Amino acid sequence: MLIAQIIRDKGAIVHTLAANATLEDAARELNGKRVGALVVIDAEGAIIGVFSERDLVREIARRGAKALESDVASAMSRDVITAQPEETIDDCLARMTDRRVRHLPVLAENVRLIGIVSIGDLVKHRIALAEAESAAMQAYIAAQ
């Protein structure tokens, strides 16, 4: 299964945030949108980072509640690892495991943000595929 199919299934909504937003703003967005990460964009809409729950927890652990006054740019992951719509679930799962990330912004033509996938999204679809294959195999065996 391709990443494009996952984006079609789950929708192309991507929650974004400006780099100058505070960590408190980011925490409210994460909670309000019920997501684990926000894509950080510049004034032109280009991706400059990803801010996740993990980034928030690390900053609060390092600096305490005072960290909430800091801007997202000071805590976000800047080395953004992305996915392409034509990649497979397995390719992206391997990249996420290797790079230890839980979210991949999906870019069309390596430029335009068209969605985001989480490791949970990919595992969910991988399990559904395995279950469908198992059911098909059981049906085949039962028909013999």
* Count of CA atoms in the C-beta half-sphere (13 A) of 23: 21
The domain that contains 99 carries what CATH number? Answer: 3.10.580.10
What's the pLDDT at 109?
Answer: 86
Encoding tokens for residue 94? 């391997």
Separation of alpha carbons 50 and 14, rounded Å:
11
How many domains is the chain built from?
A: 1
* Count of CA atoms in the C-beta half-sphere (13 A) of 53: 10
Nearest to 38 by CA among 2, 10, 4, 80: 80
In which domain, by residue range, is 56 found?
3-143
What's the pLDDT at 36?
Answer: 94
What's the pLDDT at 130?
Answer: 86
Q: How many CB atoms lie within 10 A of CB 30?
A: 20
Q: What is the pTM of this model?
A: 0.85
